[in-house]
Amino acid sequence: MSLDGRTAEYWNTVGQDNARHVTAPAKALAGHRTHGPHFEPVRLDHLTTEARNPASETLDGLTTVEMVRVMNSEDARVAEAVGREAEAIATVVDVVADRLKRGGRLIYTGAGTSGRLGVLDASECPPTFNTDPSMVVGIIAGGVQALTTAVEGAEDSPELGASDLEAIGLGPNDVLVGIATSGRTPYVVGGLRYARKVGAYTVALSCNAAAEIIEMADTAITPVVGPEVLSGSTRLKAGTATKLVLNTITTGAMVRLGKTFGNLMVDLRPTNSKLHSRAVRIVQQATGIDAAAAQAMLTACGGEVKLAIVAQLADVSPEEAQTRLAECGGLVRKSIRR
């Protein structure tokens, strides 16, 4: 996960803070282990994502290929559900692009699978779009440990959801996307409430139509995917829908920020052999020159793909190409036409 100075310090300590929070009930129950931990009952029967799916009620009795086909058939519903949220997603894309232009950040917050997906999307932005690691940040209940191990109880604290955002300095220029499939996760609820308090733009991403977090958001994105093949296992259809939405938000915002030329990633960071080869190929595809010429132009432009494209297509020096890009807000097409 990519972190800026403030978030690095936060992640170094959040594991200890969360450990104190989560283990407190365990200490209170010392000597009464046979009764297990105490959790307040939560009403889930009204949630679509917790309902039983008629198509998979005999799941354990199906042949393997039948089981695969049932899952695939249910997965096919996900893209349609996300498509129905196109206008809401587009609104968020434009808001995120505007806030990022003004120096704000896109922050994801969530617990469990939702939190992991937010961290994943955030971590993919620097190598794909050459963004500063602090531009898109993923926060998960329970801290770094929760990426690979369930931190029981972390999602039940709205106070922790707020304090984790306070620790990274969430402010009015930022956009907070609270991700909660159920729409009621206390950690996310606390985060959204804190975000509204400090003036950040709030987005509620859930997969239930009557989600509690909707009323806490400036914009709600609600792809209702229906009951899961495995009842309540929201890492399935709901998780896929969440990833599709996050993909669209960051990709769309980066397009608006000039990180692409057509459908080419022209702001990628060639940090390994594969990405270097991709950079050469992108320059070739954008300009029509051969691999050797593309490599030479990239070298002359310090490995910057969009600089190489502008220099080649506008027939100007790398220095002039840099000036044009600066004057045109990093937009390749506009820089070439100028």
In 229-240, which positions are buried (b, 16+ CB within 10 angstroms) versus exposed (e)?
A: beebebbbbbbb
124 is catalytic: yes
Among residues 50, 124, 152, 320, which one is catalytic?
124
Classified as helix, coil or strand, 102 is coil
Tokens of 267: 């702001």
Tokens of 253: 């915002």
- Chain centroid, CA 280 distance in Å: 28
Tokens of 180: 């909660």
H or E element: which one contains 219?
strand 219-221
176 and 201 in contact (C-beta within 8 Å)? yes
132 and 101 in contact (C-beta within 8 Å)? no
228 is catalytic: no
Burial of 4 (0-12, 13-18, 19+ CB in 10 A): middle
- Chain centroid, CA 216 distance in Å: 19
- Chain centroid, CA 22 distance in Å: 25
Among residues 155, 212, 228, 304, which one is catalytic?
155
- Cα 304 from Cα 297, distance rounded (Å): 9
- List residues with catalytic annotation: 124, 155
